[in-house]
Amino acid sequence: MIDDLTRERILDAAKIEEVVSDYVSLRKRGVNYLGLCPFHSDRNPSFSVSPSKNLCKCFSCGEGGSPVHFIMKIEQLSYGDALRHLARKYGIEIQERELSDEEKKLKSDRESMFILNEFANEFFKNSLHNTIEGQTVALSYFRHRGIRPETMQKFQLGYAPEERSALSDEALRKGFKTEYLVGTGLSLQYEDSKGLHDRFRGRVIFPIQTVSGKVVGFGGRIMAKKDKVAKYVNSPESIIYSKSRELYGLFLAKKEIARKDKCFLVEGYTDVISMHQSGIENVVSSSGTALTLQQINQIHRFTSNITVLYDGDAAGIKAALRGINLLLEQGLHVKVVLLPDGEDPDSFARNHTAAEFEKYIEKHETDFIRFKTQLFLEDMMRDPIRRAQLITDIIGSIALIPDDITRRVYVQETGQTLSMDEQLLAREVQKMRLRGTSYSSVPTAPPSVTTPTPDTTPVNLPQSAAGETGDRMVEVETPTSQPRQLSYPTIYEEELLRLIVTYGERKLATHHPAGSETETPHSTVALAYYVKADLSADGVDIGSDIFKQML
């Protein structure tokens, strides 16, 4: 049996356009894809694939559904076997076994927590609209922020009463268990007190939804001014909520993100709400934390284009830039918009129409690498050492970009902007790519290898593509009559060999563009052959004889 967490990983990973394209040749048609239906004799393309909905449907025969249902139909598999098929496609390991009593309880707990969160969500909304305290304190706050009633309803905004245990008491009266109230973080239980305390009391509430619309957590903003009390409080990590996974507003934004093929990234809840209200709906928030790989993958399901909106705080921008590198590494096209001084997305959206906001974005939208270079130029002029550090920082961002052509374009432009030799920058980028993050655990100063003969000559190996840290000093036996240098693998070549030996037979799906020699758009190739071909295509000169022979 496949456990719930593994099943959710499979369902999250499976992209309908990728699954269907294994069986159907798809062509882009607006925000969707179109192809010949595989379930009936289709002469005119009637099979539509929607990435934003993660669904497919034939408008002629009516067949379609989610990635799992598509595989079930086309491969004639059961639901479980279809999940296993997708798990193999996306490299997700399944350890099948009968659920233990503990796992059965965990499954039951998850379902109970979702039900409890829905109850709490309705409680908060009712407190906002139907209590004197909610109308006086919270409703007036939202109105002061310019948030209209229909927007409050759209985002399911609410209010937690100031009373110490209003939600907890009501939930217990309705039959919800204390362990779930504490487990979701809705209630706090102190050792010196037998009763429960509401976590969010006296705060306006922002429900946090998954991409499918389930309420997994809440964010709360304090209303009364209190010393030593956090302005914002969020639900803690639980078995249903992980802040590194969720993006605020994605459930409401996903269709518009796919339609416009662009996602705006902002910082706070009200930034998202105000932009929606102004008419810009393809926007999400990381809730003030650095982006994670899970969040980026969520965005990447709907678009490869992301624009980050910053206010005019230069110090804050430089600190936030660190999180952008992960976007580049995942192949997203990143742009930046710098708002006027004193403005943030919330205030700017409230003071401008959607047309004015979009016009400003179009005029000031800057490619990330260009923006980063311009941002650092002033610092570079002051100190040569600092200049070298910042150039290395920029090169590091370029090196993360997976597409060769895009990288080379950035190298050319950066070289011109910084008056640097393009060949030098290109070599440094290549060094960083060969070094890679996966090599960080490899020792940079391995012990020398010495043969047991007294007549040895130290040999400096050729400098590796990864720079001086990749060199190794090897002492080898060198007869005076036949002097010879032993070309021994560098630590990076050694690490690459280890990976090839371990995973070299794994099959990779490759895509051939239309018009190429092969007749099929997709084929597979062993990882080892792919590595060799990729090194040759990039013109990477691996200097070690032993490496070449083993490869």
- Read off the tokens for 528: 């080892």
- Residues 419 and 465 grouped into a single domain: no
- Residues 223 and 107 grouped into a single domain: yes
| Confidence (pLDDT) at 328 | 86
- Report the DSSP beta bridge partners of residue 111: none
Give the residue, 25 or 123, on which the prediction is more confident: 123
pLDDT above 50 for 37: yes
- Residues 413 and 499 grouped into a single domain: no
| Confidence (pLDDT) at 463 | 34
Average pLDDT over the chain, rounded to an integer = 80
- Residues 311 and 412 grouped into a single domain: no
Does residue 229 lie in a domain region? yes
Instruction: Return all residues near 21 (Cβ < 8 A) that are at least 6 apart.
Output: 33, 521, 522
Q: In this structure, are residues 394 and 372 in contact, taking their beta carbons and an 8 Å threshold? A: yes
Average pLDDT for 18-47: 87
Q: For 91, left (φ over 0), alpha (ψ -120 to 50), or beta?
A: left
The C-alpha angle with vertex 234 and arms to 327 and 252, in degrees rounded to 5, equals 55
Of the listed ranges 27-36, 166-175, 283-292, the one predicted with least confidence: 283-292
Q: In this structure, are residues 121 and 155 in contact, taking their beta carbons and an 8 Å threshold? A: no
The C-alpha angle with vertex 416 and arms to 415 and 421, in degrees rounded to 5, equals 45
Q: What total number of domains does the chain contain?
A: 5
Listed ranges 152-156, 286-290, 324-328, 422-426; the one with the highest mean pLDDT: 152-156
Does residue 447 lie in a domain region? no
Of the listed ranges 117-131, 272-286, 294-308, 374-388, the one predicted with least confidence: 374-388
| Confidence (pLDDT) at 274 | 94
Q: In this structure, are residues 295 and 285 in contact, taking their beta carbons and an 8 Å threshold? A: no
pTM across the whole model? 0.65
Average pLDDT for 194-209: 93
pLDDT above 50 for 106: yes
Q: Which of 57, 89, 121 is the last residue of a domain?
A: 89
Looking at 44-100, list the stretches that DSSP marks H as alpha helix, in order from N- to C-terminal side. Answer: 67-75, 79-89
pLDDT above 60 for 522: no
User: Nearest CA to 167 among 209, 214, 220, 213?
Assistant: 220
Does residue 444 lie in a domain region? no
> Coil, strand, or helix at residue 351?
helix
| Confidence (pLDDT) at 444 | 31
Residue 470 CA to residue 464 CA, distance in Å, equals 6
Q: Dump pLDDT digits (tens) for 304-320.
A: 899 999 876 655 666 56
Does residue 245 lie in a domain region? no
- Report the DSSP beta bridge partners of residue 58: 47
Q: How many CB atoms lie within 10 A of CB 24?
A: 21
Of the listed ranges 96-100, 166-170, 180-184, the one predicted with least confidence: 96-100
> Coil, strand, or helix at residue 458?
strand
- Residues 312 and 379 grouped into a single domain: no
- Residues 22 and 139 grouped into a single domain: no
| Confidence (pLDDT) at 474 | 35
Residue 182 CA to residue 540 CA, distance in Å, equals 56
Q: In this structure, are residues 182 and 189 in contact, taking their beta carbons and an 8 Å threshold? A: yes
| Confidence (pLDDT) at 510 | 60
In Å, how far are 132, 144, 203, 466, 532 from 137, measured between CA atoms?
A: 8, 11, 9, 60, 66
pLDDT above 60 for 7: yes
pLDDT above 90 covers a percentage of the chain that reads 33
Q: Which of 307, 337, 364 is the last residue of a domain?
A: 364
User: Nearest CA to 350 among 75, 146, 131, 68?
Assistant: 146
What's the CATH code of the domain at 75? 3.90.580.10
**E-assigned strand segments in 293-387:** 305-310, 333-338, 366-367
Q: In this structure, are residues 78 and 72 in contact, taking their beta carbons and an 8 Å threshold? A: yes
User: Nearest CA to 544 among 500, 491, 469, 501?
Assistant: 491
pLDDT above 50 for 152: yes
Helix 404-418 vs helix 368-382: angle between axes, to the nearest 10 degrees?
Answer: 30
- Residues 397 and 496 grouped into a single domain: no
Residue listed under structure tokens 């003071």:
351
- Residues 112 and 197 grouped into a single domain: yes
Q: Which of 172, 205, 234 is the last residue of a domain?
A: 234
Average pLDDT for 383-397: 83
Does residue 139 lie in a domain region? yes
Of the listed ranges 187-191, 282-286, 487-491, 505-509, the one predicted with least confidence: 487-491
Residue listed under structure tokens 């403005």:
343
Residue 374 CA to residue 75 CA, distance in Å, equals 53
Average pLDDT for 441-452: 31
Q: Dump pLDDT digits (tens) for 480-497.
A: 444 444 456 666 677 788
Q: Residue 108's domain spans which residues?
A: 101-234
Does residue 36 lie in a domain region? yes
> Where residue 188 falls among pLDDT bands split at 50, 70, 90?
very high
Is residue 257 packed enough to be buried (19+ CB in 10 Å), middle (13-18) or exposed (0-12)? buried
Does residue 403 lie in a domain region? yes
Does residue 31 lie in a domain region? yes
| Confidence (pLDDT) at 471 | 34
Q: In this structure, are residues 393 and 328 in contact, taking their beta carbons and an 8 Å threshold? A: no
- Phi and psi, residue 215, nearest 5°: -80, 115
| Confidence (pLDDT) at 468 | 33
Average pLDDT for 143-155: 94
Residue 115 CA to residue 130 CA, distance in Å, equals 22
- Residues 184 and 273 grouped into a single domain: no
- Residues 360 and 379 grouped into a single domain: no
- Residues 78 and 127 grouped into a single domain: no
Is residue 47 packed enough to be buried (19+ CB in 10 Å), middle (13-18) or exposed (0-12)? buried
| Confidence (pLDDT) at 310 | 82
Q: Dump pLDDT digits (tens) for 401-414.
A: 888 888 899 898 88
Q: In this structure, are residues 186 and 120 in contact, taking their beta carbons and an 8 Å threshold? A: yes
Q: Dump pLDDT digits (tens) for 212-256.
A: 788 999 999 999 887 678 889 999 999 899 888 899 999 999 888
pLDDT above 90 for 273: yes
Task: Tell me which H or E stretch contains 278.
Answer: helix 269-278
| Confidence (pLDDT) at 305 | 92
- Residues 416 and 323 grouped into a single domain: no
pLDDT above 80 for 113: yes
Residue listed under structure tokens 């037998």:
194
- Read off the tokens for 114: 């979702």
Helix 269-278 vs helix 250-260: angle between axes, to the nearest 10 degrees?
Answer: 50
pLDDT above 70 for 69: yes
Average pLDDT for 62-70: 92
Q: Dump pLDDT digits (tens) for 465-483.
A: 333 333 333 333 333 444 4
Is the four-CA dihedral 403, 406, 412, 416 of positive or negative sign?
negative
The C-alpha angle with vertex 518 and arms to 517 and 524, in degrees rounded to 5, equals 135
| Confidence (pLDDT) at 81 | 85
- Read off the tokens for 22: 């294994």
pLDDT above 90 for 545: no
pLDDT above 70 covers a percentage of the chain that reads 81
- Phi and psi, residue 202, nearest 5°: 75, 25
Number of helical (H) and strand (E) elements in the chain, helices listed first? 24, 20
Residue 158 CA to residue 543 CA, distance in Å, equals 65
What's the CATH code of the domain at 200? 3.90.980.10
